[in-house]
Amino acid sequence: MLELLNKVNIQVKEGICLKDPSSSELGNKIFSEGVRMIDEIGMEAFTFKKLADAIGSTEASIYRYFENKHKFLLYLTSWYWSWTEYRMVFRMANIESCEERLERAIALLTNPAENDLAFGNVDQEALHRIVISESGKSFMTKDVDEDNRIGAYVAYKQCVSRVSELILELNPNYKYPHMLVSTVIEGAHHQRYFAEHLPRLTDVVKGEDSVGEFYRAMVFNTIQAK
């Protein structure tokens, strides 16, 4: 089983990058060191210059993979959502109960990611932190519509769509499944961030899975199916 999973390659919609970073050593370094660096210093302070220095390459070389740092962020979030969809499908496989599948999906979306060496040498926990604190900036921009056109958000939409279908299976009359799911996803990110920086906006207790418990109850109470 481990053999089989060894090196699953997450494909990101082409068009986001100029050249597929998973196709070369330099590309992989850009990806993994980029994640490390953005997690450390944040998107604002992050530059291709700093990244180039860190991996012993040059600005110009990185620009051959990504048009600019915004596209790089789109690539990271897109990779994250493809990876998350993969994990979601995996965790729901062979589970009969629809309720149980929904529970598992919510748990996946509301809990911190855990590193899985099967997916390259990217620090997925760090990537999750980046998604929490920077992904809003990937779509809250004047380029949303263009970025949407090139498919930068398909993986995200697909995750939302999958969970929405579970909800409709449990309650075919529920009117707002997509709203509910996107509320859970974005909400969970915010709560984790608030817990760290603005605790008065949340009720997260250290050591408890408050976020997961809160959103699980919220979803089931809202769709009135449990």
Residues near DNA, by CB under 7 A: 19, 24-27, 45, 47-49, 56-61, 63-64, 67-70
18 binds, among DNA, a second copy, none (CB under 5 to 8 A by kind): none
148 binds, among DNA, a second copy, none (CB under 5 to 8 A by kind): a second copy
- For DNA, the closer of residues 61 and 161 by Cβ is 61
- For a second copy, the closer of residues 106 and 180 by Cβ is 180
- For a second copy, the closer of residues 86 and 139 by Cβ is 139
47 binds, among a second copy, DNA, none (CB under 5 to 8 A by kind): DNA
57 binds, among DNA, a second copy, none (CB under 5 to 8 A by kind): DNA
* Tokens standing for residue 161: 């769509």
CB of 74 to DNA, least distance (A): 12
